[in-house]
Structure 1
Amino acid sequence: MKKFLAIITLCLLFSSFTIGCERVSLNRIGKDVYYMQIKDEGTIEKVDGRNLRNNTLPAYDEYGVKKQITFRSTKKKTIIN
């Protein structure tokens, strides 16, 4: 009986772990992918004591179709030389 409960518990833990890892992939199903290059800091908005950067930039899909994308970030742009 103890072995049976141990096996059931291990199976439940393993399945919970694998479902949790796959959740990231499930969020991408049916989503469009756009590519953009961030060139400036954007407008800074202070919300709840945090500096949020709002950006509206042109983005392109895999076929080169242009679309304006607005997004918000909390980190500064890292400049790579």
Structure 2
Amino acid sequence: MSTSDLVWFKSSHSSGSEGDCVEVAVSWRKSSYSGSQGDNCVEVAACPGTVHVRDSKDPDGPHLAFGPAEWASFLAYAAEHA
């Protein structure tokens, strides 16, 4: 994977001045449960403390963000109802 494949976000711990900026990279990956035809694609990006989920057909659109406990609950619920 090259750095051009990553999505960069300014860290919330960075100051407002230009000199003290930290960026964090996120790499989106297609869920193994997504369709192979490209029509039902869910992508996930894991960061420390947060898991992001988006629809790959609209990468600039809204996405969900889960904390570790919420993500574990979501996965458990999805496994029970799959």
Shorter chain as denominator, the TM-score bin is under 0.3
- Which structure would you say has the larger Rg? 1
Q: TM-score, normalised by structure 2?
A: 0.27
Structure number with the bigger relative contact order (C-alpha 8 A, sep ≥ 6) is 1
TM-score, normalising length from structure 1? 0.27
